[in-house]
Amino acid sequence: MADLTVSYQYTREDIMNFVLDTFSFEKVRCTLFLIFNLASFIIGVVFFCMHNIPLGCLFVAFSIMVFPLILFLTYITVRNSLRVLSSVVCTLKDDGVNFISNFGDTLIPFKDINDVKVTEALIFIYISKNSALVVPKRAFRDSTKAIDFAARLVDRFNKSKTKVN
């Protein structure tokens, strides 16, 4: 089977989609965080009911500002780490995914891939829970090439997982 190669550069939308997908990927952490935020909001309302306005304002403001702040800080961290990337070339080979950037040439075997997720605009190749290669579908000449790339990637990923088990 011929190797499939795609060349692209990351955009702000790619970075933001990765951040949002990472938060949805870690459902337990996100659920606990939302419970913590909700509890903080309820504690603030209880303080308001007890006529302790300063503490009520503190807890409510904390619950309203913390979640967007953490999303923003995560976005800044990922954006700064990806800003140094120039153009990226991703090649789907028989033995893995070859990722070439200004940092060097890396071949990631299919057995080392944690998960593959295909969305409407992006293909995520998770190396760990919080680390992924992001391949934007817009980098392909047409949507059929993107669909073919994603289908082959998922097929080879699934075959490598069945060999391990």
123-163: per-residue pLDDT in tens? 888 888 777 888 888 888 888 888 898 999 999 888 887 86
Residue type present at position 60:
V
Q: Is the pTM of this model over 0.85?
A: no
**Nearest of 88, 110, 94, 120 to residue 10 by alpha carbon:** 88
pLDDT in tens, 33-79: 778 888 888 999 999 899 998 988 888 888 888 777 877 887 777 67
Instruction: Return the SS3 of 1.
Output: coil
Q: Do 79 and 134 meet the contact criterion of CB atoms below 8 Å apart? A: no
**Nearest of 43, 33, 92, 116 to residue 68 by alpha carbon:** 33
For each of the domains in the chain, give its residue range(s) and CATH number, in order of start. Answer: 4-11+85-164 (2.30.29.30), 16-82 (no CATH)
Cα–Cα dist 24/67, whole Å? 13
Tokens linked to 34 = 């939302």
Give residue for tokens 């490598």: 160
